[in-house]
């Protein structure tokens, strides 16, 4: 019997049984870490107004708790608020920086709040991950092998941790010579990834990506893919120290501060700012193109995942024209008709399973 090549597509719902928050639950954890009381008041007023407008658009006239909003929706809509305030500056009889209350500076404040929320995202994920119950993830990981591949949109490292505990090797699809084991394509990055200037080298970290440029010089180009490399923490202790100490890092002359290799929040994520993600996306889509079946777990593929929809549709369309449609199974206890419609629109050939993956018999797939 020829082994089936499976590609698992994982979203936040995959990590949920382990104790990780969904996008609709994450926001309350992030806002709890806001900086000062003054900022809490200003940010709270803006969030309250945003929640009321979103409730109105949803046809709900009742007051909505701003802390229960979808974090992706907050970032998506916040960018429109920023643009509206900047437009209002055209009608203001003073300059952009003539006082803290100018429309332009209000827009700058919203940008700052968003950047702060993105910053504390790593702290929240790591805290939740440290308390995670790995049992449902291990249960799944026990059934996969090197013939399978994983496409994940999650920043946490639960998949990698469980594979390591089970003695299974993995790689991140960066195209390196030592890329053995199960391919785990992290399309949005990972909290244990470090983006560092090429002037810096780390003997105790794993180098994931370094672009080869035949015209490379010693001078900085201003282009992240040429000036930076991507590293990965080898151990849990390294990850803890990296996230907790990233404010207190030494920066070498000619370099710049290291950053966490995640693409952030919102519908438009600047994936190109993480060296190597171009290779990850290419390898991930190739794996899906070659798969016998795609198994989606806990990924709603919402409208905030438009890039994933487009890339998946490209693979599905090519296979459809070749008369070998990709069969897809979606496992999610929170499935609704809109989610089902999106999946059928992208993949065409889809079966749905409304069970939680912690109860699924993986041997059936």
177, 205: one domain = no
pLDDT-derived band at 33 (thresholds 50, 70, 90) equals low
pLDDT reported for residue 254 = 58
Structure tokens at 246: 């990233």
281, 142: one domain = yes
> Which of these ranges, 9-23, 32-46, 250-264, has the smallest mean pLDDT?
32-46
Distances (CA, A) of 253 to 158, 256, 257, 265: 36, 8, 11, 31
Residue whose structure tokens are 């080898």: 234
Provide CB contacts within 8 A for 79, sequence distance 6+: 266, 268
DSSP structure class, residue 267: S
pLDDT reported for residue 13 = 94
DSSP H or E run through 44: helix 37-57
pLDDT-derived band at 235 (thresholds 50, 70, 90) equals very high
Residue whose structure tokens are 């007051």: 63
34: pLDDT strictly greater than 80? no
- Total domain count for the chain? 3
137, 125: one domain = no
CB neighbourhood size of 321 (10 A): 9
Q: Which of 97, 113, 130 is the last residue of a domain?
A: 130
Mean pLDDT of 238-266: 80
Residue whose structure tokens are 């702060």: 116
Report helix, strand or coil for 133. Answer: coil
Whether the full predicted model's pTM is greater than 0.85, yes or no, is yes
134: pLDDT strictly greater than 50? yes
pLDDT reported for residue 130 = 94
268: pLDDT strictly greater than 70? yes
pLDDT-derived band at 41 (thresholds 50, 70, 90) equals confident
Q: Tell me how many degrees the CA angle 126-312-122 measures, rounded to the nearest 5.
A: 10
Distance separating alpha carbons of residues 25 and 74, to the nearest angstrom? 12
138, 96: one domain = no
Q: What are phi and psi of 30, to 5 degrees?
A: -75, -45
Mean pLDDT of 86-100: 94
230: pLDDT strictly greater than 90? yes
Domain residue limits at 235: 191-262
250, 276: one domain = no
Q: Which residues of 34-64 are buried (b: 16+ CB within 10 A; e: fewer)?
A: beeeeeeebbeebbeebbbebbeeeeeeeeb
Q: What are phi and psi of 259, to 5 degrees?
A: -130, 160
145, 253: one domain = no
Mean pLDDT of 163-179: 88
The strand pair at 259-262 and 189-197 is best described as antiparallel
Mean pLDDT of 133-162: 96
pLDDT-derived band at 249 (thresholds 50, 70, 90) equals low
355, 273: one domain = yes
207, 94: one domain = no
35: pLDDT strictly greater than 50? no
Whichever domain contains 322, its CATH number is 3.40.50.1220
Mean pLDDT of 107-121: 90
Distance separating alpha carbons of residues 313 and 119, to the nearest angstrom? 32
Structure tokens at 40: 């809490």
pLDDT reported for residue 26 = 84
Please, what is the end-to-end C-alpha distance for the chain in angstroms? 15
Provide CB contacts within 8 A for 52, sequence distance 6+: 63, 64
pLDDT reported for residue 215 = 76
Distance separating alpha carbons of residues 149 and 151, to the nearest angstrom? 7
Q: Which of 233, 262, 291 is the last residue of a domain?
A: 262
Mean pLDDT of all residues belonging to the chain? 89
pLDDT reported for residue 214 = 72
Mean pLDDT of 91-104: 92
110, 197: one domain = no
């Amino acid at each position: 019997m020829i082994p089936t090549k499976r590609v698992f597509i994982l979203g936040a719902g995959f990590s949920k049984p382990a104790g990780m928050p969904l996008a609709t639950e994450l926001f309350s954890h992030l806002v709890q870490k806001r900086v000062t009381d003054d900022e809490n008041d200003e940010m709270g007023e803006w969030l309250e107004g945003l929640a009321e407008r979103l409730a109105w658009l949803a046809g709900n006239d009742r007051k909505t708790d701003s802390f229960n909003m979808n974090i992706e929706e907050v970032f998506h809509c916040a960018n429109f608020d920023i643009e509206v305030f900047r437009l209002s500056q055209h009608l203001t009889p003073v300059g952009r920086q003539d006082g803290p209350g100018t429309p332009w500076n209000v827009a700058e404040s919203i940008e700052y709040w968003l950047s702060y929320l993105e910053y504390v995202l790593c702290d929240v994920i790591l805290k939740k991950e440290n308390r995670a119950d790995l049992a449902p993830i291990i249960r799944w990981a026990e059934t996969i092998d090197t013939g399978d591949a994983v496409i994940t949109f999650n920043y946490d490292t639960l998949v990698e941790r469980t594979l390591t505990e089970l003695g299974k090797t993995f790689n991140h699809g960066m195209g390196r010579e030592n890329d053995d084991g199960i391919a785990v394509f992290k399309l949005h990055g990972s909290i244990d990834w470090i983006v560092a200037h090429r002037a810096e080298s780390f003997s105790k970290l794993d180098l994931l990506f370094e672009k080869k440029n035949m015209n490379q010089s010693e001078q900085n180009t201003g282009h992240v893919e040429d000036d930076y490399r991507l590293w990965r923490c080898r151990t849990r202790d390294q990850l803890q120290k990296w996230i907790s100490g990233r404010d207190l890092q030494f920066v070498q002359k000619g370099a710049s501060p290291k950053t966490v290799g995640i693409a952030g929040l919102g519908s438009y994520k600047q994936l190109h700012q993480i060296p190597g993600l171009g290779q990850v996306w290419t390898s991930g889509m190739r794996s899906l193109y070659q798969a016998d079946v795609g198994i989606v777990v806990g990924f709603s593929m919402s409208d905030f995942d438009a890039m994933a929809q487009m890339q998946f549709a490209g693979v599905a369309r090519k296979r459809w024209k070749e008369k070998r449609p990709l069969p897809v199974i979606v496992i999610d206890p929170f499935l609704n008709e809109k989610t089902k419609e999106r999946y059928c629109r992208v993949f065409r050939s889809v079966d749905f399973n409304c069970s939680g993956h912690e109860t699924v018999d993986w041997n059936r797939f």
